[in-house]
A = this chain, B = another copy of it.
Amino acid sequence: MKVAKFGGSSLANATQIKKVGEIIKSDPERKFIVVSAPGKRDQADTKMTDLLIQMGDSYINGLQYEDDFLRIMDRFAEITEELNLSNELLNEFESTIKTVLTKDQIITDKLDAIKAIGEDSSAKIVSAYLQSLGLDAHYINPLDAGIIVSDEPGNAQILPGSLAKIYSLHQKDGILVIPGFFGYTEQGKLATFSRGGSDITGSIIAAGVKAELYENFTDVNSVYSVNPNIVENPKEITILTYKEMRELSYAGFSVFHDEALIPVIKEKIPICIKNTNNPDAQGTYIVSEREVKEDECVSGIASDTGFCSLYVSKYLMNREIGFGRKLLGILEDEGISFEHAPSGIDDMSVIIRERNFPPAKEAIVLNRIKEELHADTVSLHRGIAIIMVVGEGLVNTIGVANKAISALAEARVNIEMINQGSSEVSMMFGIQSSDIDRAIKSIYRAYFEKNN
């Protein structure tokens, strides 16, 4: 039994939804379907969820909202008409939107209720469309599905007891189509997950029903081994472990919301990323464990800019018990969260995302470290980029670090930081942001193109 989740691009218009119908029809194991709201039809388009938020904000602030309302209804109409679905569906959407906007006594946060309309309508459309294909499909509301969440509008968390209830979905006949992105509190109040939350719903359902596979349909054939904006036609990744995926996500691979996967990871359910537009392509599997071939120890190379490095040195630092703790305490005090804190003997560097270290705090923090910790030197270097070389085979392969570091030397890139060995599946490099494309191209060549 599989859970198949379809993202916004797979539901953007009737043509896409027809592909979704084909995919579901082609495999009777696809019993649990989770859907996003309609996404962009082309680059210039606006996602349904953004239209809904815009309309909701305007309404709440007493501004003109009718144009957005018409745009929303037009999009729904375009879809239902092309799919030859009954007008009742469209009337239902219209009345839902009007109720949510105008009803004052509603217990749910108004914006949450508005946002959820996108996914909810998508699920109703897909369910009706599957029925029109002769399939035994049913729309299931998240409340009926058992998705019980905490009372945090826009950031709801699944409650631990929910999964057992969800398992009982097995008792229902046919294909069940469930809207993503929201659940209900124990008081029956609708609450949405954080943005991208349809992945969360898919993951919860997959874990709850103990699916054999969680299929995540999107608009790419697979996860690429490197950013395709930097390297042309990069190698497709066929299999990754959860850990590899996590490390790649950290440095810019936007495959998934990390938190979204916790439920499936706990249950060790394999995930498959597939392309709605090319469902025969193999896709990328994300699994708990995998076999590693010796000459393919690296799976992917991720990179991200926007880091800075805080450098502190003090003679005999390593004899001073608690120095590191005090240093990190000052950062915590000032509300600055950090990424890593590698230390030397008398030196320590703290890697921080630049967005978490506002320039206004710079002088304060540097001064506090100097004064309170009697540091010899304190300095901040901005404009750092991080490269993550990720692979399950890294830890025991001789010479694997050598390839990346030789590649950086060949590309004349100065390495500001190497952090290897703290993770068993990755090596981390810090370089100047301006060198990032050259660096990534050279490392990619070393692992994926050279015959060595």
The residues of A with any CB-CB pair to B shorter than 8 Å are: 242-243, 246-247, 250, 258-259, 262, 265, 309, 311, 313, 315-316, 318-319, 321, 324-325, 328, 337, 339-349, 388, 396-399, 401-402, 405-406, 408-409, 412-428, 430
- Residues on B with beta carbons closer than 8 Å to the beta carbon of A346: 243, 246-247, 423
- Residues on B with beta carbons closer than 8 Å to the beta carbon of A413: 398
Which of B265, B321, B422, B430 is the one whose CB lies under 8 Å from A344?
Answer: B422
Cα A315 to Cα B421 with chains together (Å): 17
Beyond contacts A311-B424, A347-B422, A398-B412: 12 other A-B pairs, Cβ-Cβ < 8 A, are A247-B345, A313-B424, A340-B342, A340-B343, A340-B344, A344-B419, A345-B388, A345-B426, A399-B409, A416-B421, A417-B421, A418-B419
Classify the secondary structure of A's interface with B: mixed
Q: Is the CB of B428 within 8 A of A344?
A: yes
- Residues on B with beta carbons closer than 8 Å to the beta carbon of A243: 313, 315, 346
- Residues on B with beta carbons closer than 8 Å to the beta carbon of A417: 420-422
Query: Considering residues A342, A388, A421, which has the most beta carbons from chain B within 10 angstroms of its beta carbon?
Result: A421
Beta-carbon nearest neighbor of A426 in chain B: B344
- Residues on B with beta carbons closer than 8 Å to the beta carbon of A265: 315
In the A-B complex, the 4 residue pairs with the closest CB atoms: A344-B423, A417-B421, A399-B409, A342-B422
Q: Is the CB of A321 within 8 A of B340?
A: no
Q: Is the CB of B342 within 8 A of A321?
A: no
Beta-carbon nearest neighbor of A340 in chain B: B343
Cα A337 to Cα B250 with chains together (Å): 30
Which of B250, B406, B418 is the one whose CB lies under 8 Å from A406?
Answer: B406
- Taking the nearest CB of chain B, how far is it from the CB of A137, in angstroms? 34
- Residues on B with beta carbons closer than 8 Å to the beta carbon of A408: 402
Cα A56 to Cα B196 with chains together (Å): 76
